[in-house]
Amino acid sequence: MTLMSPKTKRININKHENGKLPKPVKQLGPHRYLNRELSWLEFNRRILGEALSSRHPLLERIKFLSIFSSNLDEFFMVRVAGLREQIDAGVQERSPDGLTPNEQFAILRPQVISLTERQRICWFDDLLPQLRASDILICNYDELTPAQQDHAHAFFQEQIFPVLTPLAFDPGHPFPHISNLSLNLAVVVHDPRSGERFARLKIPEVLPRLIELPVDQGRRVFVWLEQVVAANLGVLFPGMQVTESYPFRVTRDADVELQEEEASDLLSTIQSTLRRRHFGRVVRLAVESTIPTRILEILVENMEIATDDVYMMPGPLGFHGLMQLAGIDRPNLKDSSFTPQLPASLETADNVFEAVAAKDMLLHHPYDSFMTVVDFLNTAADDPNVLAIKQTLYRVGHYTPQVDALMRAREHGKQVTVLVELKARFDEENNIEWALALEEAGVHVVYGLVGLKTHCKIALVVRKEGKTLRRYVHLSTGNYNATTAALYTDIGLLTSRDDLGADASDLFNFLTGYSDQRAYRRFLVAPIDLRDAMLRLIKREIEFHSADKPGRLIFKMNTLTDPTIIEALYGASQAGVEIDLIVRGVCCLRPGVPGLSQTIRVRSIIGRFLEHSRIFFFGNGGNNEVYLGSADMMSRNLDRRVEVVFPVEDPNLVAHLRDKVLAIYLEDTLNAHLLQSDGTYHRTDGTPCDVQAWFLTHAH
């Protein structure tokens, strides 16, 4: 299978002087760019589409519905919060597509309401009946039999009641703080002495959202936690009459600004910043549509929010809790299991170092086992010839065989240095925990760089071989996280090439010391030269483009929002270069516009695994080049993060990535959605092809 350039009308390169790239326009008109926030909602719409798709097993559809809900939470915590902050500050600066913050918010709100309505229909009209037909019952409390209600009451008394804390609101009790993403009950009680009173009750996060009841005639039966609490409120307010209760859920601004330049201790600064996250402004109040106006007014007034921050919907609130159902042991309702492959070269070598010394090794996760990476670190930890290990950690996770290897290496007397990025959003607390554990084990830990996030994925092993030192390097598009490695698609390279090893050493000197390294042999490093290098490579494709050797670009990434890169791609399209972009999430480039981007096609792949690999293919006049890396084409990645994009130079691996990876992605019809010039996405058609299923059966 090869990547042939599609036949299209060629556009004269002389539209740009001497083949130079067009300069980004100063006035970014709406016809050139898609709105970033709307593009994000389109991405989450595609996630919801997988929950609606009958091609997935039932519990996998439930999982997609949960992911949709969690994604929407983060959208409000970060993106909507940012818009609200700009609106409050009176910012009138327009986005690249020409909208003010107020105009963007006005467009987003009805889109969110429409999506949550589709979510409701998906749950109540589709998934819930199918669960029931599969003998999994998700019941409201009033649907339970008397015996089941007795069991729920006993569970409440034993497991729930001890952790509940009702908080009164009256002249003697201030309105309680409502924590981010918390589910609560607004409770109205009648006091015989003073009349109606108001209280807030937080639903415990330490308990499962769905309470399982005894099996009924072979059926699994669950009831919502908040409904069990609401049915037993009388126990919490003795001497009072509970007259009403209404669930509500709060989302706060969680994108707290970190004042690094003023920090003398980055660790303590981030710890205090995390505490402030719990007190960010409220950006969404979700309530059930049955809530009376007088109760809603109490919440709105005391949380100091506008009415357009309120979202009314039928219960339950917060579908993220449905992820619990994915743990049900029903293989017939889940994707079939698979066993990740081990590289064939490891079967004939004594150890991973011998295999990598012989030739570069490409790993495509989750189809290739992440345990090869763990084995690389374990072997390094135990090998007496290994002198030093250096590694970056961005999202560590809870299952950490790679961290265990680093600690053991230190116990064996090796020099171990780890950069733990404490600013990885929403993973800060977990990363702090592992950073402190590594320090306690004697590992030299660096907490990242002031003003930059270290997002690159790299591990360096220095090994004594005879009278020389040899460097072994692992570079990847994904995190050193054993859990997500089974769920995300990523590509890594194990190599012992001297130039990549030397670049790795220079990079770690930059990360851990005072090096001002400005040039690398083969690495493209942000924020140093990655942006300029990508622009040069795109320009080169324009210059090499001819009728005999048509220009060809294929970029696979998570996000494309940077205006300068988009303008460069527009310039390449206008020169006639054929361009395919595989962008999982947000894409602000507008494809298929005559005279602007008519040779650009954009597709998003949404399937069983989260597409996370970044691949950059350049036709290069027939001498194909492929780069892999950690960076998306976003301004933050190019300018405010430490990223590494690295070349794959083994001809066999280049051919594999071209013909057995990218080519298959471009043939997918079952997971692919094609971006239209108006910003909407349409399903593809043609011969059925599922790229992820293909990789599961063709892993090398």
Show which residues are catalytic. 455
What number of other Cβ atoms are within 10 A of residue 440's Cβ?
10
- SS3 label, residue 664: helix
**What proportions of the chain, in percent to the nearest 5, are helix, strand and coil?**
40, 25, 35
Tokens 């539209």, residue?
15
Query: Checking DSSP bridges between strand 552-557 and strand 615-618, what pairing results, if any?
Result: antiparallel
Measured CA to CA, the distance from residue 524 to residue 530 in angstroms comes to: 5
Measured CA to CA, the distance from residue 326 to residue 337 in angstroms comes to: 14
Measured CA to CA, the distance from residue 182 to residue 560 in angstroms comes to: 33
What number of other Cβ atoms are within 10 A of residue 391's Cβ?
24
Contact 430, 403 (CB under 8 A): no
CA 226 to chain centroid: 29
> Which residue intervals of 383-529 are DSSP H helices?
401-411, 428-440, 498-512
User: What contacts 328, CB < 8 A, 6 or more positions away?
Assistant: 59, 136, 220
Query: CA 623, 616, 16 angle in degrees (round to 5)?
Result: 75
Contact 672, 605 (CB under 8 A): yes
What number of other Cβ atoms are within 10 A of residue 487's Cβ?
13
Query: CA 529, 473, 362 angle in degrees (round to 5)?
Result: 95
Could you write out the DSSP letters of every residue in 184-203? Answer: EEEEEEEETTTEEEEEEEEP
Contact 108, 80 (CB under 8 A): yes
Residue 403: φ, ψ to 5°:
-70, -40
Contact 283, 255 (CB under 8 A): no
Measured CA to CA, the distance from residue 608 to residue 629 in angstroms comes to: 22
- SS3 label, residue 538: helix
Could you write out the DSSP letters of every residue in 314-343? Answer: PSPS-GGGGGGGGGS--GGGSPPP--PBPP
Contact 577, 549 (CB under 8 A): no
Measured CA to CA, the distance from residue 669 to residue 606 in angstroms comes to: 11
Bridge partners (DSSP) of residue 446 are: 419
Contact 645, 676 (CB under 8 A): no
The token duo for 155 is 């569970």
Q: How far is CA 255 from CA 76, 79, 178, 309, 387, in A?
A: 10, 9, 17, 17, 40
Nearest Cα residue to 402 out of 450, 427, 370: 370
Contact 328, 221 (CB under 8 A): no
Query: Checking DSSP bridges between strand 282-288 and strand 310-313, what pairing results, if any?
Result: parallel
Measured CA to CA, the distance from residue 553 to residue 575 in angstroms comes to: 12
The token duo for 447 is 């907490």
Residues in the chain, how many? 700
Nearest Cα residue to 634 out of 492, 491, 459, 455: 455
